[in-house]
Structure 1
């Protein structure tokens, strides 16, 4: 069985999508449509923007979404048995499996990006990658700190990203290194994604999701919040809203897809980050890009 996976924020690079735009008229049409929907030339920033311009959440999220979805929607070989996306990538996955239309998916991603950016301005915060420590040990250290610090991204065994206040992350990194982490690296991100500090963004996104049409998907989506497959529209909505303040259970999602029969994992979008994570989670899996 084939599982198609979609990357999240951080996979962007200058020139992303230009090859697809030039080679595929259907993809080029989607790119132009995205510019019209957003009201600014996203494609200009994708093709020619600086790294700093592309790091802006309001640009990064729609750009990765557009790149990922264009690949899936214009490929004759895209025939998924199941899909999943890492954080932002869950929206790409939901367009790919027909739960959301391209236009509605892009509008929600743009709304999500702006809401997250706003939440970051309200509560200055950050994230850090913890390498070489058991998940439980990381969770215990986070729970021992008075400031807001939580496990945010369960990326693969031995790699967990934490999220929280500036002070909380600083203290957590010190404690986690003392507890035996090989590395505790503060990340260059706009704020504490997938933590309680994203509550203002969750409320904004919830209102938009409730006004959006969701259709029955053509295959299950394994969602970040619980790592379980779903084809139920109301459950998908609920989990999508909860995603902003809850951890991304990527390790568990990939394990469950493999347990349910996936032997081939195909990444749709810029980069190969998810392929690397999948191989660390399920070494026997076959991985590739679409």
Structure 2
């Protein structure tokens, strides 16, 4: 069985999507449609903007979504996954790929998500940190022992977990994690505490937008960050997507469940190869690739 996976924030690069725009009329039409939906020329920033321009949350999230979804759409008949998953933001790309969401609705939700997260970041000084070389349980226990808000946010692969929370609590947690044997515990250059309780204002805002959007019955199951198991029910997909902003991204567990359910290969659709690397760290025997356009 073929699994298609879609990357999240951090996969952006300067010039992203330009090759698709120049080569495929369908891509050109979708990029032009996106500029109208967003009310600004995101293609100018994607194709010609600097790395700094692309770092703005209101640009990064729709840019990665567009690159992933448009790449998937130009694949046409070559895109026949048996299951899909997306890392954080990538879950929206996966939901367009399995036809749960229409392209336009997916893009609008991603734009609203980016703005809501940006606002939530401005309310509290918060951040994230990457922890390497520790078992998940130790990281969870250390986070629970720290005063203030600090929680596991991204279970990326065994031995690689990202924590999220208030700046002071993250700093204390990093020290404690190093004392507990972490190879590294380093602060990340992000705007806020994604996938933590500090995203509650964003979750409330996005919940309204998701509830007002039509979700179709998917063509194939999605393994969502929150539940990690195969989901085919549109109402449950909505529920999980709303919970995602304040809950951890359980990527390790999602990939393990996809393999358990018969995934034999993982195709990463979108910018970069980060997810291919994570899949290999979860199970070395898995075939991983980028799509052949």
Output the CA distance in 2 between the equivalents of 1:124 and 1:95.
33
Do residues 25 (structure 1) and 43 (structure 2) align? no
Task: Let me know the Cα RMSD of the aligned residues.
Answer: 0.5
Match of 1:58 in 2: 58
Match of 2:113 in 1: 112
Match of 1:74, SS? helix
Output the CA distance in 1 between the equivalents of 2:68 and 2:212.
24
Write the deviation string for residues 120-162 of structure 1: whole angstroms up to 9, x where unpaired: 0011100000000000000000000111000000000000000
Deviation at 1:185, TM superposition (A): 1.1
Match of 2:131, SS? strand
Output the CA distance in 2 between the equivalents of 1:205 and 1:181.
35
Match of 1:80 in 2: 81
Deviation at 1:102, TM superposition (A): 0.2
Match of 1:230 in 2: 231
Match of 1:251 in 2: 252
Output the CA distance in 2 between the equivalents of 1:210 and 1:159.
33
How does 1:134-283 map onto structure 2 within 5 Å?
A: 134-283=135-284
Output the CA distance in 1 between the equivalents of 2:133 and 2:41.
41
Deviation at 1:37, TM superposition (A): 0.3
Aligned length: 290
Match of 2:100, SS? coil
- In structure 2, the gaps of 5 or more residues are none
Deviation at 1:220, TM superposition (A): 0.1
Output the CA distance in 2 between the equivalents of 1:48 and 1:168.
38
Deviation at 1:38, TM superposition (A): 0.2
Do residues 128 (structure 1) and 140 (structure 2) align? no
Match of 1:92 in 2: 93
Write the deviation string for residues 4-58 of structure 1: whole angstroms up to 9, x where unpaired: 0000000000000111111111111111111010000001111111111111110
Write the deviation string for residues 58-101 of structure 1: whole angstroms up to 9, x where unpaired: 00000000000001112130001000000000000000000000
Match of 2:15 in 1: 15
Output the CA distance in 2 between the equivalents of 1:213 and 1:289.
30
Match of 2:75, SS? coil
Output the CA distance in 2 between the equivalents of 1:125 and 1:107.
26
TM-score, normalised to structure 1, is 0.99
